[in-house]
Amino acid sequence: MNPPTPSLAKVPVTIVTGFLGAGKTTLIRHVLETVRGRRLALIVNEFGDVGVDGEILKACGVESCPEENIVELANGCLCCTVADDFVPAIEALLAHPNRPDHIIVETSGLALPKPLVKAFDWPPVRARLTVDGVIAVVDAAAVSDGRFADDPEAVQAQRAADEAVDHDNPLEEVYEDQLLCADLIILNKADLIATDEVGRIGAEIGAAIPRAVKIVATRDGKIDAAVLLGLGAAAEDDLAARPSHHDGEADHDHDDFDSFVVELAETVDPSALVSRLADIAAAHDVLRMKGFVAVAGKPMRLLVQGVGTRFRRDFDRAWATGEARRSRLVVIGRKGIDRAAIEAALAA
């Protein structure tokens, strides 16, 4: 049989999943900056109301992915808004006069990838698109800290009460669902832990997932675009091999997590601000904090990123003419996170 002509060939779609702050945007940015000869489009989904990831990716300004090919979907997690948001967005990209050669989807850190892959099995979608691969980015340092493991004492207490009880750690459930759906696993932040610890985590993940999946360690998501794109997995054809904690459920929600936006005053001392944010993150078990901050006397805006208590800050671009110098941070934590106390601490 002849290969399909290019205009009828399915457009490959790479889904990048991974828990909050694992390094998905960093990885995609690296792909944009290094890919050659391919017209890319991006769909970026975030949990929380400040569109940080889309801003970072648009700021790359690379020719292979012009701004009009970057679509932000901020309306909840993609896994729950597949029909309403995702399918129309992808159809709009396919209708562009310069149709992309490859589409990358960055899911929110709390999204389950499987419902998204399922959408590619719907006849009108599968006629035109295929899931080239699901890439799960893992924060190896967070795994090493035991962030996704059950609290052994809580498990012990549950077991004492009920032999049959399953683990009930929402972080672990999301993390596992993302790994179980993956065609390639990126153990990112390898710079933050010892090399043998990276090996140990890789082996542990490999033993826990039923399929043989390649696992690659990275720093700052630096991996050749040729390794990520072109896996040819056609993930929509083997959904059964990708088990999920939510198989058989008609619906699921993200009630285990809360997010809100805090508006700050202009800061005079970025370093003091970031150390205060780290203290607040530690005191309130904040999972993720990120946003842009105005610094007194500086024409550049400060991008502030926190994953747990680990923070990074960089001036990313100048405030545009007429743009309000607003300092806004999105805060994400487990349900019941003390919003009032966090707001009070930030205002202090």
- Residue 14 or 188: the one with the smaller Cβ distance to ligand GTP is 188
Smallest distance, Å, CB 174 to ligand GTP? 11
Interatomic CA distance for residues 257 and 112, integer angstroms: 14
Largest CA distance in the chain: 69
Query: x/- contact string, 80-119, with ligand GTP (CB under 6 A)?
Result: -----------------------------x----------
Backbone angles phi, psi at 180, to 5 degrees: -65, -20
Contact 320, 249 (CB under 8 A): no
Give the count of residues interacting with ligand GTP (CB under 6 A).
22
Binding of ligand GTP at residue 23 (CB under 6 A)? yes
Smallest distance, Å, CB 91 to ligand GTP? 24
Binding of ligand GTP at residue 54 (CB under 6 A)? no
102-106 vs 11-18, strand pairing mode = parallel
Interatomic CA distance for residues 105 and 107, integer angstroms: 6
Single-letter code of the amino acid located at 332: I
Query: x/- contact string, 176-215, with ligand GTP (CB under 6 A)?
Result: ------------xx-xx-----------------------
First to last CA, the chain: 69
Q: How far is CA 39 from the centre of its chain?
A: 22
The alpha carbon dihedral of 50, 54, 60, 61 has a sign of negative
SS3 content of the chain, % helix, strand, coil (to 5): 35, 25, 40
Smallest distance, Å, CB 289 to ligand GTP? 9
Contact 325, 333 (CB under 8 A): no
- Residue 194 or 241: the one with the smaller Cβ distance to ligand GTP is 194
Query: x/- contact string, 283-302, with ligand GTP (CB under 6 A)?
Result: -----x--------------
Binding of ligand GTP at residue 307 (CB under 6 A)? yes
Contact 265, 276 (CB under 8 A): no
Smallest distance, Å, CB 318 to ligand GTP? 20
| Residue number with the smallest Cβ distance to ligand GTP | 109
Binding of ligand GTP at residue 24 (CB under 6 A)? yes
- Residue 125 or 277: the one with the smaller Cβ distance to ligand GTP is 277
Binding region for ligand GTP (CB under 6 A): 18, 20-26, 46, 53, 109, 188-189, 191-192, 219-221, 288, 305, 307, 312
